Amino acid sequence: MIRKNAGAVLYGTITDLVFLLPALALFSLMIIVPFLMGLVYAFTDWNGFTVDFNFVGFSNFIKVFEERRIGGATWHTIQFTLMQTVSVNVVGLALALAISRSTRLNRMLRTIFFMPFMCSIVFAAFIWSYCYREVLEAIFKIINPLSRMNTVIPGIAVIALWRDAGYAMLIYIAGLEAIPETLYEAAIVDGIGKIQNFFYITLPLLVPAFTVNLTLFIGWGLKTYDYVMAATGGGPAAASETIAMLVYYYTFPWQRTGLGQAFAILMMIGIFLITQSVARLFRSKEVEL
C-alpha cells in the first residue's frame, strides 16, 4: 500500500514537471539566459556586433558615474516618478472613495475608469501627443507641454495619470471593501464624523493598499521607458531623457553594450533597494484587524 502511494506521488510529481517544463524553458530562454549574458557583458567592452571583446573588470561601472548625461537622466527619472506616483495614488484613492459602494452605476464607473489601463502605454502616449498638438495647441492655443523643456515631464506624467489611475483605484477599492463595516457603525455610535473616520479608520486600514500601489508605481516610474520614448523620444533637447533610455542608447545605437549593461544592472539594483525600502517602511505601519 505504501509502495503504491509512493508511486502515485512520484507519478504526480513527474506529470507536474512535464507540464511545467515548457513554461520554465520559455522563462529561461527569455529572462534567465539574457540576464546572465548581460551580467557577463557588463564586464566587457563589447559593442554588440563584433565577435571579439575584452574583459575590462569594473571599469564600465565606474564610467557610468562619469557619463555626462547620467545626472540629467536621473533627475528626469526622479521627477517623473514623483509626479506619477503622487498623482496616480491621490486620484486613484479619490475615485475609490467616490465609487466604493457596490451599486450598478458605480460598477459601470469602475469599468470606465479602468479602461484606459487596458490601452498599451505606446497607444496612450500617441493619443495624448495628438491631443496636446491638435487640440490644446491648435484649438485652444495652449502651448504643447511636450514641446517645452520645463513642462515636458509634467506633460508625460499627465499621460501616466490618465492611464494608470484606474489601476490604483481598483487596489484601493479592494482595500476599502476589506475594512469591516462594524468599525464605521461603532464610530457613528460614538459620534465620530466622516473626516475623523477617514483619518482614524480608513487611512490606517488602507496601508496594505498603499504598500502595493506605492511600491508598484515607484518601481514602474524609475524604470520608465515607453511613456517617454513614445511621447517625446527623450526630447526636446534631452529634457525628458530617463535612465532606462540611456540603457537603450548605450546598448544599441551608440554600440557600447558593455556600458549599457552596467547601466542596466545598477538601475536594477537601485530600483530593488528603493522599492524594498518603501515596502518595508509601509509594512511596518500596517494595522492588524
Please, which pLDDT band fits residue 97 given cuts at 50, 70 and 90?
very high
126 and 267 both lie in a single domain? yes
Identity (one letter) of the amino acid at 259? L
120 with 253, same domain: the answer is yes
Classify residue 48: in a domain, yes or no. no
Indicate whether 53 belongs to any domain: no
Indicate if 108 and 207 belong to the same structural domain.
yes
pLDDT band at 7 (very low <50, low <70, confident <90, very high): low
* Together in a domain, 74 and 204: yes
Burial annotation 186-203 (CB, 10 A radius, 16+ → b, else e):
ebeeeeeeeeeeeeebbe
Q: Is residue 56 in a domain?
A: no
Lowest mean pLDDT among 117-121, 150-154, 197-201, 230-234: 197-201
| Domain membership flag for residue 133 | yes
Residues 129 and 242 in one domain: yes
Task: Assess if residue 235 is contained within a domain.
Answer: yes
Q: Please tell me whether residues 160 and 254 are part of one structural domain.
A: yes
Decide if 47 is inside a domain: no
Q: Please check whether residue 66 lies inside any domain of the structure.
A: yes
Domains in the chain, number: 2
**pLDDT of amino acid 6:** 64
8-39 residue pLDDT tens: 667 778 887 888 899 899 999 999 999 999 99
Domain shared by 135 and 166, yes or no: yes
Query: CA–CA separation, 226 vs 220, rounded Å?
Result: 11
DSSP E strand boundaries for 234-274 = none
Checking if the pLDDT of 275 tops 60, the result is yes
Tell whether the model's pLDDT for residue 288 goes beyond 70: no
- Measure Cα distances from 86 to 74, 160, 194, 205 in Å: 18, 11, 23, 19
Count the neighbouring beta carbons within 10 Å of the beta carbon of residue 137: 16
Q: Do 186 and 259 share a domain, yes or no?
A: yes
Task: Kindly state whether residues 33 and 142 are assigned to the same domain.
Answer: no
- Reported pTM: 0.90
**CATH number, domain containing residue 122:** 1.10.3720.10
**Percent of the chain residues topping a pLDDT of 90:** 69
Q: What is the pLDDT averaged over residues 182-210?
A: 88
Q: Is residue 54, in this structure, part of any structural domain at all?
A: no
Long-range contacts, 32-35 (Cβ 8 Å, 24+): none
Residues 24, 93, single domain; the answer is: no
Which position has the higher pLDDT, 188 or 78? Answer: 78
30 and 163 share a domain? no
Are residues 82 and 133 both part of a single domain?
Answer: yes
Range of the domain at 202: 61-283
